Structure 1
Amino acid sequence: MNAVIPAPALPATAAPTHTRTRVRADARGPAAAGPWHLRSDPGLAQVEETVRALLEPHLGARLLPATGGEPAAGGEPAAGGEPGPVLRLTLGEAPPSPRRAVGVAPDGTPVPVDESYGLTVGPDGITCRARTAVGVFRAATTALQLLALPGPDGELEPRHLSDAPHYAWRGLLVDPARCFIDPDDLRRIIDLAALYKINVLHLHLTDNEGWRIESPSVPSLTAPHRSGTEAFYSAEEYAALQEYAARRYVTVVPEINLPGHCAALRAAVPGLPDAPAPEGVAGRFTYVPPLDLADRRTRTMVREVLADVCATTAGPFVHIGGDEAVGITDESFAAAVRELRALARGFGKRPVGWQETSRAGVTDQDLAQYWVDPGMMDLPATADDLAERPDLLAAGFTPELVAAMRRFFAPSADDLQRVLAGGGRVILSPQSHLYLDRGYAAAVVPPERAADAARLGFPSYLPRDVRHTAGWDPAAHGVPDDRIAGVEATLFGEVLQGIDDLTTMLLPRLASVAETAWSGRPATWETHRAALARHGRLWQQRRLAYFPATDVPWR
């Protein structure tokens, strides 16, 4: 059980069997058992279908086709007439767990989220039991890891375990705006998220580099000759992706990032006026002017876009962005955020915003995604310090630009307090640990991967090792636990060129974030790295590229 990530809430206990019969999990041992059967209660047919699809890359032909009916006691006949082990999915009372997540309804009301489950490895197979279908599915992902990553003898000893999450929101942001992700590849990311019990996929769909979601009311947004966007998700593709995710109990949260980060929108809808700029900023630095939502034409266009996005989004949340609105007055920014929130709520969705949206006021209805404070920026303090950062010099940083960035990010020091004082809740995504576009530290880069490591890291972030991400503790930010809505890893796409780059930056660190998001605190490094060392096999079975950092003893 030690290789399961996230680790179960309660340690596995030996199952009470008279014989110490073991369930052989794969065909590498000297006397491998026959193929596996997958069976479920009648009300879990869709869960069974999804679990079967997730298991296929790991069991292949050893996962027998569905035949219907209930398995006989002692297993079912496999090829050759011998009983085969059964992975059984069933609804019923699950053992109690010390963890229980609390989610948030669209109106802001706290609601319990029951993803708890029990799992038993017995002489006849594995039984996944929970009170809810989602709990059964979470148990099945644990079973999948047990089957994909057995011990050296290829067997599983009989065990009981029980489990439940600490946080209800366990998210991953990916960035199709800058590096478009083909729908089939996005499905592979959804599968990966589900295997690690991540239940939110945050799609950063719009930015300066591209607009990636169809808006029938404003068709120019996805017209290549207007916006520069060459690929996007049609309404049909977006609906299909959401349905695929929902079958894996993953909620899709679309982000329409406004009022800044709007170059693609401006190219598609020319002539929109600039937001009022602070005195002394205009003309000094290169930036895309944010939108002015006080302008009637701009406000009408944004309303149409959000109406389309909200209408085609099945889940309860829409992310309105709000970060890094460079070149806008405080008053204009606050008015824009209030307008965006009101529009999303008017269309029946709960708005989520980056932490900067707290500067427009906060209520107990608001969710703010915390990503930065001045200390996280890793900015040099002096010109001499800048001279020792070739990464920043190569990216065009000057002493004046560094000073301007320090001034711009100074208000972030108080954003968390603004959220808490207003009664809002926080999604923790600190850039210091959970931004997975941060490069891998040179000390953990295998020589044969040096070129990848140099190419893939976002240039202004100091590279770190895997242990750095795995050691992050949500309690470090001083947010009361009941005010933390959840945890979200992010992977922005500025330096990515395809799915292999994307998964190389995600893996192995996404598994570490998933561990903390599910359990509420980091595992000890020695325990976690020992489990992580076996997951490279799982990713290989799924044909996912990963980075073999040397601080993990891969095997």
Structure 2
Amino acid sequence: MPILTPAPGLLGARPTRRYAMHAVFPAPADHVVHDGLSDLPTAGPWRLSSADPALAEVERTVRALFEPHLGRRLLPVGSASPGVEIRLELDASVPARRRTRGVAPDGAPSPADEVYAVSVREERVLCRGRTPAGVFRAATTALQLIALAEPHETLAPQEFTDAPHYAWRGLLLDTARRFIPVAEMHRLIDLAALYKINVLHLHLTDNEGWRIEIPSVPALTAGSAGGGFYTVGEYRALQEYAASRHIVVVPEIDLPGHCASLRAALPGLPPAPAPPGLAGRFPYTPPLDLADPGTRELVRSILADVCALTDGPFVHIGGDEALGITEQGFATALNEVRAMVRRLGKRPVAWQESSRAGIGPQDIAQFWVDPGMMDLPGSEEELAQRPDLAGAGFTGEFLAALKRFFAPSAEDAQRVLDGGGMLLLSPQSHLYLDRRYAQEVAPSERAEQAAGLGFPSYRPRSVEYIAGWDPRSHALPEERIAGVEATLFSENLRNFEELTTLLLPRLASLASTAWSGGPEPWQEHRQALGRHSRLWRDRGLAFFPATDVDWS
């Protein structure tokens, strides 16, 4: 955490150390300030260096991340000019200040070693880690230390040592409803890397679009030129870009529901058997019938290509909101798809509803909802008090149907625990960042944006509410939590600016919680969070200036 002190004679007295204690996100577990030593000026110029060939790629990537913030203060490669050194080093002796838990997104049998240490002295900033990943995490901490300071300020001599609480710290981006071009995706990956996120979950298929080229089934993207999709080459390159920032890509092919785009590209596939009495009552796209040999072979071809193209060990198979399929049909579909992915050499991840098809110790279920999180009115009077729902066309009959549909979610988490599986935490109540900002924290000039940006049926919330989420509040056994993943579905997003406005500032708070295992005290957190607007402006990223954050 940075201790920013003004150069002598410029700004007067040194600010209290408490004021700047939490400006580094995620907040390190161990922080020591060394009194009696000279401060380090941040004006630069800065020289990035490493003598270890094993860190050559880390050094290139760190330089690219630093450039938007330091500009000409960062000396070019090979420059002979003197400068303050940012040194990258591998060091097996860096101590772990936290035990890392959960599932390693790189598929390792134990969580990856991301332990890091940063040391600030009067002549340099030293970034150390046991592994290249740890050195990279140290460098993102150093970036925040330097970039959040004014050029005329100085850094106190200090040391940080830290390791993540959760090994899986993810961000889901919905490219199906709004395609995210590669250049925009690079900017989002860089943002995620700054906050030590290490999983990029790509929601590639849904009713609205199919966004990845499948060589064996070209019809799936034949009509997507206007909406966009990732070619084989673009998808491979995107994974390489993420990997250089120590981020694993997890693709999602959503099955057996959410399949309207697949059905439009390949008409004639038989519908899954539907529960009696459902036809004609509510509009829905029939889920896929995996008991049908033709459908089963089609899905196998799709997954074979996706698994072959994916570098990481995980493939997400969806399994959510399969409206219009019998319990037996759903169980058949999920078990067939799980088995396919395993035979293809990958480990399946699915939404929590997959637990209703049975679940075992090797399964990961992404927990996103329970009846309480749906936050639905129980009467016409309560509906009248929810203009967000009434304005979206919700009726009493539709709300009752929704409650019946989501009632089984009350038991999903327990089903996962009983079956020996792991839970990836993405509770809609806090980690769904398509939720609108509350009007009470919207500046007057942003009131209209707050009212219109986000999914209309979610109750709007303050930044403080989102930042206060605690993984421990779900009362789950710690050893059964795979990790934490924020999501951003793009039902009504029109452009990149709206996307980052929903992400920021909330993503920084949730990334900090995922790393440290719990939220920070709000009064300290809101001050530190406000300082980070400097980073976002440097990178040209729009954010929402909620009034409950201290932007001063």
Q: What's the C-alpha RMSD, in Å, of the aligned pairs?
A: 1.6
How many Å separate the matches in 2 of 1:107 and 1:154? Answer: 39
* Cα shift at 1:112: 3.5
Instruction: State yes or no: 1:319 paired with 2:319.
Output: no
Kindly indicate whether the alpha-carbon contact (under 8 Å) linking 2:97 and 2:161 is maintained by their aligned counterparts in 1: no
Q: 440, 446, 450: which one pairs with 1:443?
A: 440
SS in 1 for 2:277: coil
Deviations 1:203-244 (A, max 9, x none): 0000000000000111110011xx686310000000000000
Alpha-carbon distance change, 228 to 395 in structure 1, aligned in 2, over 3 angstroms: farther
Mark the runs of 5 or more structure 1 residues left unpaired by the alignment.
27-33, 69-76
* Cα shift at 1:418: 0.4
* Cα shift at 1:387: 2.1
Match of 1:248 in 2: 245
Match of 1:168 in 2: 167
Q: Residue type matched to 1:221 in 2?
A: L
Instruction: State yes or no: 1:51 paired with 2:51.
Output: no
Q: Which moved more, 1:35-44 or 1:149-158?
A: 149-158
Q: Which moved more, 1:443-452 or 1:149-158?
A: 149-158
Q: Residue type matched to 2:24 in 1?
A: V
Kindly indicate whether the alpha-carbon contact (under 8 Å) linking 1:256 and 1:319 is maintained by their aligned counterparts in 2: yes
Q: Tell me the TM-score normalized by structure 2.
A: 0.94
SS in 1 for 2:55: helix
Mark the runs of 5 or more structure 2 residues left unpaired by the alignment.
2-20
Match of 2:154 in 1: 155
How many Å separate the matches in 1 of 2:117 and 2:225? Answer: 50
Q: Which moved more, 1:237-246 or 1:293-302?
A: 293-302
Match of 2:42 in 1: 25
Instruction: State yes or no: 1:37 paired with 2:47.
Output: yes
Instruction: State yes or no: 1:9 paired with 2:29.
Output: yes
Alpha-carbon distance change, 107 to 153 in structure 1, aligned in 2, over 3 angstroms: closer
SS in 1 for 2:110: strand
How many Å separate the matches in 1 of 2:505 and 2:208? Answer: 27
Match of 2:423 in 1: 426
Match of 2:219 in 1: 220
Kindly indicate whether the alpha-carbon contact (under 8 Å) linking 2:105 and 2:167 is maintained by their aligned counterparts in 1: no
Q: Residue type matched to 1:533 in 2?
A: G
SS in 2 for 1:533: helix
Match of 1:118 in 2: 117
Match of 2:345 in 1: 348
Kindly indicate whether the alpha-carbon contact (under 8 Å) linking 2:26 and 2:516 is maintained by their aligned counterparts in 1: yes
Deviations 1:136-156 (A, max 9, x none): 000000000001102695211
Kindly indicate whether the alpha-carbon contact (under 8 Å) linking 2:179 and 2:227 is maintained by their aligned counterparts in 1: no
How many Å separate the matches in 2 of 1:156 and 1:302? Answer: 56
| Alignment of structure 1 residues 357-368 onto 2, 5 Å | 357-368=354-365
Q: Residue type matched to 1:342 in 2?
A: A
Q: Residue type matched to 1:43 in 2?
A: A
| Alignment of structure 1 residues 59-70 onto 2, 5 Å | 59-67=70-78
The alignment covers a number of residue pairs equal to 531
Instruction: State yes or no: 1:385 paired with 2:404.
Output: no
SS in 1 for 2:393: coil
Q: 328, 332, 338: which one pairs with 1:331?
A: 328
* Cα shift at 1:107: 12
Alpha-carbon distance change, 388 to 103 in structure 1, aligned in 2, over 3 angstroms: closer
* Cα shift at 1:6: 0.4
Deviations 1:65-111 (A, max 9, x none): 1129xxxxxxxx63xxxx42100000113442331214536998851
Match of 1:71 in 2: none
* Cα shift at 1:282: 1.3
Q: Residue type matched to 1:13 in 2?
A: V
How many Å separate the matches in 1 of 2:134 and 2:233? Answer: 29
* Cα shift at 1:383: 1.4
* Cα shift at 1:530: 1.2
Q: Residue type matched to 1:93 in 2?
A: A
Alpha-carbon distance change, 505 to 105 in structure 1, aligned in 2, over 3 angstroms: closer
Deviations 1:20-39 (A, max 9, x none): 3221223xxxxxxx410000
Kindly indicate whether the alpha-carbon contact (under 8 Å) linking 1:108 and 1:364 is maintained by their aligned counterparts in 2: no
How many Å separate the matches in 1 of 2:390 and 2:456? Answer: 10
Q: 470, 489, 493: which one pairs with 1:492?
A: 489
How many Å separate the matches in 2 of 1:43 and 1:108? Answer: 21
Instruction: State yes or no: 1:515 paired with 2:512.
Output: yes
Match of 1:184 in 2: 183
How many Å separate the matches in 2 of 1:222 and 1:527? Answer: 48
How many Å separate the matches in 1 of 2:519 and 2:456? Answer: 27
Alpha-carbon distance change, 337 to 381 in structure 1, aligned in 2, over 3 angstroms: same
| Alignment of structure 1 residues 188-203 onto 2, 5 Å | 188-203=187-202
SS in 2 for 1:120: strand
| Alignment of structure 1 residues 467-478 onto 2, 5 Å | 467-478=464-475
Q: Residue type matched to 1:213 in 2?
A: I
How many Å separate the matches in 2 of 1:308 and 1:239? Answer: 12
SS in 2 for 1:282: coil
Match of 1:30 in 2: none
* Cα shift at 1:320: 0.1
* Cα shift at 1:554: 0.5
Kindly indicate whether the alpha-carbon contact (under 8 Å) linking 1:455 and 1:495 is maintained by their aligned counterparts in 2: no
Q: Residue type matched to 2:210 in 1?
A: W
Match of 1:73 in 2: none
How many Å separate the matches in 2 of 1:388 and 1:413? Answer: 25
Deviations 1:159-218 (A, max 9, x none): 011010000000000101001101000000000000000000000000000000000111
* Cα shift at 1:498: 1.4
* Cα shift at 1:42: 2.5
Alpha-carbon distance change, 153 to 61 in structure 1, aligned in 2, over 3 angstroms: closer
| Alignment of structure 1 residues 516-535 onto 2, 5 Å | 516-535=513-532
* Cα shift at 1:526: 1.0
Q: Residue type matched to 1:333 in 2?
A: F
How many Å separate the matches in 1 of 2:83 and 2:186? Answer: 31
How many Å separate the matches in 1 of 2:151 and 2:306? Answer: 49
Alpha-carbon distance change, 367 to 162 in structure 1, aligned in 2, over 3 angstroms: same
How many Å separate the matches in 2 of 1:428 and 1:367? Answer: 10
Match of 1:402 in 2: 399
Q: Which moved more, 1:143-152 or 1:186-195?
A: 143-152
Match of 1:31 in 2: none
Kindly indicate whether the alpha-carbon contact (under 8 Å) linking 2:102 and 2:481 is maintained by their aligned counterparts in 1: no
How many Å separate the matches in 1 of 2:34 and 2:134? Answer: 21
How many Å separate the matches in 2 of 1:250 and 1:325? Answer: 30
How many Å separate the matches in 1 of 2:181 and 2:432? Answer: 22
Alpha-carbon distance change, 100 to 288 in structure 1, aligned in 2, over 3 angstroms: same
How many Å separate the matches in 2 of 1:231 and 1:265? Answer: 15
SS in 2 for 1:113: coil
How many Å separate the matches in 1 of 2:231 and 2:199? Answer: 21
Consecutive aligned runs of 4 or more in structure 1 exceeding 6 Å deviation: 105-109
Kindly indicate whether the alpha-carbon contact (under 8 Å) linking 1:15 and 1:121 is maintained by their aligned counterparts in 2: no
